[in-house]
Amino acid sequence: RKLESLSQGEKLHFSSRYATGFATQLYFSTRRWASCHWRNVGYNLHRMIVVTIIALLFSLNMVNQKLSDVTDQSKLQSFNGILFAGVFFTAAVQTNMAVQVLGEVKVVYYKELAAGMYTPFAYIFGLTVVEIPWLIAVTALHMIIFYPLVGLWTAPSYIAMYAVTVFLLCTVFCFWGQMLAALTPSTQAAALIAGPTVGIMVLFSGFFVPGSLIPYPWKIFYYIFPAKYGIKAAMPKQFYCSLSCIPERQISDNLMR
């Protein structure tokens, strides 16, 4: 109805709560977040720089070593530690970065929600879709630097498994930071929660304390946090195989323990 046809004191009525259809909301929400990420040079540039530093920092410690030379417990632990640190520091920094960028736009989100521009799902959908290419770029940067310098196995299946694991871990940690920023009242509160929760994820990942030795009820953290599954996907495939493998890969069960 036209405004001129309304009588004094008559309330406005709309056929829908939102200004456009759901598909249009998804499209413009995705465009909005794409522009936001492209213009936020600090967010993406900083995490690319940090990922590069992490990859170089840990991989250069093992640049003269080879997995085929692993014959004792000390060398195995060195490779385990470097691989663990490289993967999880790369993933963990995504949490801190995500907390900052989403915390800064919460006020704008509430205004857009009150104006009926997007449904909450459309808003989250756009943010998720736009974040994925940047996470792929983070994974690719890590793989290009870290994987060859550490000397991990070059078989396509091993490279693919490692890359998918790093990507999924970065995705989980990034979206964890975004969730904390959305649920907490301020960016500072989200940052205060993000640090300890990431630490708990790493502590109960099964690397420092094996899952079989974690007592109940703390063992619930071992099962629900994704860090455990990242370790199981990335590390054993690089370090262990059965007696049917090539000779230099025949690492015994006792050595793996």
SS3 184: coil
Q: Could you identify the residue written with the tokens 């907490």?
A: 184
Distance CA 257, CA 253 (A): 6
Q: How many CB atoms lie within 10 A of CB 198?
A: 22
Model pLDDT, residue 152: 80
Contacts for 113-120: CB closer than 8 Å, 24+ residues apart: 115/19, 116/17, 116/18, 116/19, 117/18, 117/19, 117/25, 117/28, 118/18, 118/25, 118/28, 118/29, 119/18, 119/22, 119/25
Q: Would you say residue 248 has pLDDT above 80?
A: no
Chain mean pLDDT for the chain: 81
Q: What single-letter DSSP state applies at residue 151?
A: T
Give the tens place of pLDDT for each residue, 40-90. Answer: 888 888 889 999 999 999 888 877 666 666 666 777 777 788 888 888 899
The answer to whether 96 and 194 have CB atoms below 8 angstroms apart is: yes
Token digits of residue 93: 């920094």
Contacts for 159-164: CB closer than 8 Å, 24+ residues apart: 161/233, 161/234, 161/237, 162/234, 162/237, 162/238, 163/139, 164/233
Distance CA 60, CA 163 (A): 19
Question: What is the mean pLDDT of the segment spanning 168-190?
Answer: 90
Domain range list for the chain: 18-63+71-240
Residues contacting residue 241 through CB under 8 Å, at least 6 positions apart? 249, 250, 251
Helix 73-104 to helix 187-203 angle, to the nearest 10 degrees? 160
Q: Would you say residue 243 has pLDDT above 50?
A: no
